[in-house]
Amino acid sequence: MRALLSKAAGGPETLVIDDLPDPVAGPGQVVVAVKACSINYPDVLIIEDKYQFKPPRPFAPGSEIAGVIDSVGAGVTEWKPGDRVIAMTGSGGLVEKIALPVASLYRLPEGRSFAEGASLLLTYGTTIHALLDRGHLAEGQTLLVLGAAGGVGLAAVELGKAFGARVVAAVSSEEKAEAARQAGADDTIVYARAPFDKDQSKALAEQFKAAGGKGGYDVIYDPVGGDYAEPALRSIGWEGRYLVVGFPAGIPKLPLNLTLLKSCDVCGVFWGAFAARDPEANRAHIERLFLLWRDGQIAPRVTETFAFEDGGKAIAKMAARGAIGKLVVSVSE
């Protein structure tokens, strides 16, 4: 089978198509013929050896796939060849076939495309865990979403609205603001590109405060980091929750006196560890996402698809922060 492999640490240009032996399903496993693999920011980091997990090389990036079961291993009774599935892989998704444990599988609903299916679990799974378990978002509260036009950003806008919040979406262009409005955002902020000097940082904080209203934000969802973090924190409300989701703009240093003045919490969000530590709670979240998807309250937005051979270009676009919604690699027809 073909695989898009990282054989040495580096950027997307270092990835190469190569042949690997077809996987065989072990006990409790299935082999999935991969149809689509979505691209997420961890794919940018993992090939550069900057992610929390460093798989041995050669390995394929790609943590979220959709496909069709090709074969099943011993003891597998609930799945059969031909079943349409979606799954998180951690890494290794940019391959034509992959062996996975049955515990990682979810059934892809009829009428949903493989590209949509490959775009659900990571962004929405991260976000529902962040908003409910870490942010304790409640109906009638106000939510600020940074990077609101990316995959997790749009998921936060949609889920924030589904949970009854007023959602303010912060983005870097009017095109992205329109995407956030289409996802349901009540208000949008278009901010300048970092880095910021002291005056620019203060001005951005005022932008955030103006949109948040007198009480400030109950929850701030930050998958961006960098120079955007402190201005956002300055706009948080009393006993607000600041959710640390990711750092494509850099790892910020927050002045902790602000947490005292606002009596607020800064909360880390590590969905992968949560899912591993409490799989039952995670599966309950995913089942809730399927219901919201069925009812039209969320809908993965796939804005661009790439041929398998161009998987590196998809990762490069993600690294450049040029994506709106989800980028998906079409592995096979």
**Band (53; pLDDT cuts 50, 70, 90):** confident
**Band (52; pLDDT cuts 50, 70, 90):** confident
Average pLDDT over residues 283-303: 97
On whether residue 295 sits in a domain, the answer given is: no
- String of DSSP letters for 116-170: HHTTTHHHHHHHHIIIIIIS---TT-EEEESSTTBHHHHHHHHHHHHTT-EEEEE
Q: How many helices (H) and strands (E) does the chain have?
A: 11, 15
Same domain, 177 and 49: no
Same domain, 34 and 65: yes
Same domain, 254 and 134: yes
Phi/psi for 262 (5° steps) reads -100, -5
Mean pLDDT of the chain: 96
Average pLDDT over residues 276-281: 96
Same domain, 200 and 259: yes
Same domain, 76 and 149: no
Structural domain containing residue 108: 2-120+300-330
Percent of the residues in the chain that have a pLDDT greater than 70, as a whole number: 100
Q: Please state the pTM of the whole predicted model.
A: 0.94
CA dihedral sign, ordered 43, 48, 53, 56: positive
On whether residue 113 sits in a domain, the answer given is: yes
Type and span of the H or E element at 223? none
Residue 218, pLDDT score: 98
d(CA 221, CA 168): 10
Residue type, 137: L
pLDDT tens per residue across span 96-132: 999 999 999 999 999 999 999 999 999 999 999 999 9
End-to-end C-alpha distance for the chain, whole angstroms: 15
Q: How many CB atoms lie within 10 A of CB 93?
A: 32
- List the CATH number of the domain containing 55: 3.90.180.10
Percent of the residues in the chain that have a pLDDT greater than 90, as a whole number: 95
Type and span of the H or E element at 296? none
Give CA torsion, residues 265, 269, 275, 279, to 10 deg: 20
Number of domains in the chain: 2
On whether residue 27 sits in a domain, the answer given is: yes
Same domain, 152 and 179: yes
Residue 44's DSSP bridge partners are: none
Listed as own residue / partner, the contacts of 276-283 with beta carbons closer than 8 Å and 24 or more positions apart are 279/103, 281/133, 282/125, 282/129
On whether residue 100 sits in a domain, the answer given is: yes
Phi/psi for 53 (5° steps) reads -110, 140
pLDDT tens per residue across span 183-215: 999 999 999 989 999 999 999 999 999 999 999
Residue 325's DSSP bridge partners are: 150
Last residue of a domain, one of 229, 253, 272: 272
Residue 149, pLDDT score: 96
Residue 333, pLDDT score: 80
Q: Are the beta carbons of 156 and 145 closer than 8 angstroms?
A: yes
Last residue of a domain, one of 233, 254, 272: 272
pLDDT tens per residue across span 247-257: 999 999 999 99
Residue 84, pLDDT score: 98
Q: Are the beta carbons of 292 and 162 closer than 8 angstroms?
A: yes
For 199, residues 6+ apart whose C-beta sits below 8 A from its C-beta are: none
Q: Is the pLDDT score of 226 beyond 90?
A: yes
pLDDT tens per residue across span 253-272: 999 999 999 999 999 999 99
Q: Is the pLDDT score of 5 beyond 90?
A: yes
